[in-house]
């Protein structure tokens, strides 16, 4: 056949790639990014291709797909993904795209199936992605084996599911080993989602992450959260008071007795884990600071575990307490639109209405998420002005934002440097 192969079409983003690399190389470090990074459609397309299709992403929790055939779906930009527990008990991930004519295969957010059956013409796939059945008239030489679902890289650790849409994912196992170790006390096989929420913010995804990486804004915006949260989580932080340091010393001795890890660990700027005390006398991120669930998580015997904070760039932050945990997932929807999904986890044997009230459990972070949504949306509106110019981050209050932007700039430059993707 003499057709022009689609990969010979020009890369419509070629100019944007060069301009983006130039802007990153010229950027003032410790300053917010130039306007197009937050509102331009081409920059958004590059973020999706170079960050969200190449880096490891937090997708969900293993407890959400507990049984063989349990599945969940999510969209990474224009890529629908299905994550399913196979007959072998392992977690598999696939492009949620039928190999017949490309229909989306699973349309529900979550469910349980024996086989994956396409709603269009009922092509039927095994839970491991093999095509089992393709109607009766595909011809006698039709080779089922050539039409399996396209796999997506997937790794699990400590109950977290990470996916990677590239063919050469970056290394992540050192972080996953530590994550598994830090989550061991929570026995993540014995966990369930008590309640979840998804909100859409009219802001670029980087504004959502930037907002999360600092507590400079907490005093002005988060009365509910500040009933429990310390605004810093490291005794080396210049803001750490003698009172904080002595509280940390006391709690670390308790945590050692309970044999739970607390040391601050970093894996580049992508991952950060640390256990930090909540305010003195407070054990959970609830309105009154007392446990939101009577049954503690995992093997823990005290609710007073502070908060194990886990950061995973580009799209997740998390708080693990003694009585419940909260996991956050960020998925970009458009240049100025982002979905934030929050899940509150409790022991799987905790009984709703007896051990916990989902409405109580979710109150602090529902309020906090809504406050952060407004902040990110106002940030976006100001950035869209012709008056916007990059402004300085505080090294004391906003080091987390600096680290995020450094990570982002480094990954984007590295990934842009590889050959431009061919269109298939
Ligand atoms: O608690 C959080 O997840 C983040 C960290 C600092 C401020 N912010 C509310
Ligand atoms: Fe899936 Fe036809 S598109 S069976
Ligand atoms: Fe906030």
Cα angle: 79, vertex 370, 334; to 5 degrees? 25
Whether the per-residue pLDDT at 419 is higher than 90: the answer is no
Closest CA to 220 of 20, 372, 45: 372
Residue with CA at minimum distance from ligand 2 atom 2: 121
212 lines ligand 1 (CB under 6 A): yes
Span from the CA of 212 to the centroid of ligand 1 (angstroms)? 5
Closest CA to 374 of 325, 408, 340: 340
Partner residues linked to 71 by β-bridges = 84, 111
CATH 2.102.10.10 domain range(s) in the chain: 57-164
Q: Which residue has the tokens 């008590």?
A: 194
E-state strands within 22-68: 57-61
Span from the CA of 319 to the centroid of ligand 1 (angstroms)? 9
CATH fold of 187-384: Naphthalene 1,2-dioxygenase Alpha Subunit; Chain A, domain 1 (3.90.380)
Span from the CA of 16 to the centroid of ligand 1 (angstroms)? 33
CATH 3.90.380.10 domain range(s) in the chain: 187-384
Question: pLDDT per residue over 190-214, tens digit each?
Answer: 999 999 999 999 999 999 999 999 9
Average pLDDT, the chain: 96
343 token code pair: 């899940």
402 lines ligand 1 (CB under 6 A): no
Q: Which ligand is nearest to the CA of 123?
A: 2
**Whole-structure pTM value:** 0.95
Q: Which ligand is nearest to the CA of 215?
A: 1
Span from the CA of 131 to the centroid of ligand 2 (angstroms)? 12
Q: Which ligand is nearest to the CA of 120?
A: 2
Q: Which ligand is nearest to the CA of 400?
A: 1
Residue 375 near residue 229 (C-beta atoms within 8 A)? no
Span from the CA of 214 to the centroid of ligand 1 (angstroms)? 6
Q: Averaged over 341-356, what is the pLDDT?
A: 98
Span from the CA of 26 to the centroid of ligand 1 (angstroms)? 30
CA distance 168 to 143: 28
By the CB criterion, residues less than 5 angstroms from ion ligand 3 are: 372
CA distance 219 to 226: 8
CATH of 57-164, one of 2.70.150.10, 2.30.30.60, 3.90.1150.10, 2.102.10.10: 2.102.10.10
Confidence of residue 1 (pLDDT cuts 50, 70, 90): very low
Whether the per-residue pLDDT at 84 is higher than 80: the answer is yes
Q: Averaged over 123-147, what is the pLDDT?
A: 92
Residue 379, helix vs strand vs coil: helix
Q: Which residues line ligand 2 (CB under 6 A)?
A: 98, 100-101, 103, 118, 120-123
Span from the CA of 373 to the centroid of ligand 1 (angstroms)? 13
Task: Classify residue 395 by its DSSP letter.
Answer: T
215 lines ligand 1 (CB under 6 A): yes
- Atom index in ligand 2 nearest the CA of residue 123 equals 4
Question: pLDDT per residue over 256-276, tens digit each?
Answer: 999 999 999 999 999 999 999
Cα angle: 327, vertex 317, 164; to 5 degrees? 90
Question: pLDDT per residue over 24-58, tens digit each?
Answer: 999 999 999 999 999 999 999 999 999 999 999 99
356 lines ligand 1 (CB under 6 A): no
Percent of the chain residues topping a pLDDT of 90: 93
Residue with CA at minimum distance from ligand 1 atom 4: 212
Span from the CA of 312 to the centroid of ligand 3 (angstroms)? 17
Residue with CA at minimum distance from ligand 2 atom 4: 121
């Amino acid at each position: 056949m003499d057709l022009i192969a689609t990969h010979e079409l020009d890369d419509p983003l070629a100019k944007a790639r060069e301009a983006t690399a130039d802007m990153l190389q010229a950027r003032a470090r410790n300053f917010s990014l130039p306007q197009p990074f937050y509102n331009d459609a081409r920059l958004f397309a590059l973020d999706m291709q170079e960050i969200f299709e190449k880096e490891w992403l937090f997708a969900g929790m293993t407890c959400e797909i507990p049984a063989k055939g349990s599945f969940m779906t999510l969209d990474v930009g224009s890529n629908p993904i299905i994550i399913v527990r196979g007959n072998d008990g392992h977690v598999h991930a696939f492009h949620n795209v039928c190999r017949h004519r490309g229909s989306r295969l699973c349309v529900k957010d979550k469910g349980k199936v024996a086989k994956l059956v396409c709603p269009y013409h009922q092509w039927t796939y095994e839970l491991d992605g093999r095509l089992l059945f393709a109607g009766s008239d595909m011809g006698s030489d039709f080779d089922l084996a050539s039409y399996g679902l396209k796999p997506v890289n997937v790794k699990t650790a400590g109950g977290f599911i990470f996916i990677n849409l590239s063919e050469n994912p970056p290394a992540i196992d050192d972080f996953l080993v530590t994550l598994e170790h830090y989550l061991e006390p929570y026995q993540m096989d014995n966990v369930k989602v008590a309640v979840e929420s998804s909100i859409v913010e009219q802001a670029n995804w980087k504004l959502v992450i930037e907002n999360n990486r600092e507590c400079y804004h907490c005093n002005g915006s988060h009365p509910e959260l500040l009933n429990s949260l310390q605004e810093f989580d490291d005794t080396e932080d210049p803001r750490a008071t003698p009172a904080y340091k002595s509280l940390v010393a006391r709690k670390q001795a308790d945590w050692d007795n309970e044999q739970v890890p607390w040391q601050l660990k970093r894996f580049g700027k992508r991952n950060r884990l640390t256990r930090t005390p909540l305010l003195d006398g407070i054990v959970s991120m609830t309105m009154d600071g007392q446990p939101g669930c009577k049954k503690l998580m995992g093997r823990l015997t005290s609710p007073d575990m502070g908060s194990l904070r886990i950061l995973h760039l580009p799209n997740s932050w998390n708080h693990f307490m003694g009585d419940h945990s909260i996991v956050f997932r960020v998925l970009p929807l458009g240049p100025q639109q982002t979905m934030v999904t929050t899940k509150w986890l409790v022991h799987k044997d905790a009984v709703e209405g007896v051990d916990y009230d989902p409405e109580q459990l979710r109150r602090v972070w529902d309020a906090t998420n809504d406050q952060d949504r407004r902040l990110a949306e106002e940030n976006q509106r100001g950035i869209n002005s012709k008056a916007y110019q990059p402004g300085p981050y505080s090294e004391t209050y906003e080091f987390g934002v600096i680290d995020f932007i450094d990570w982002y700039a480094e990954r984007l430059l590295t990934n842009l440097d590889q050959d431009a993707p061919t269109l298939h």
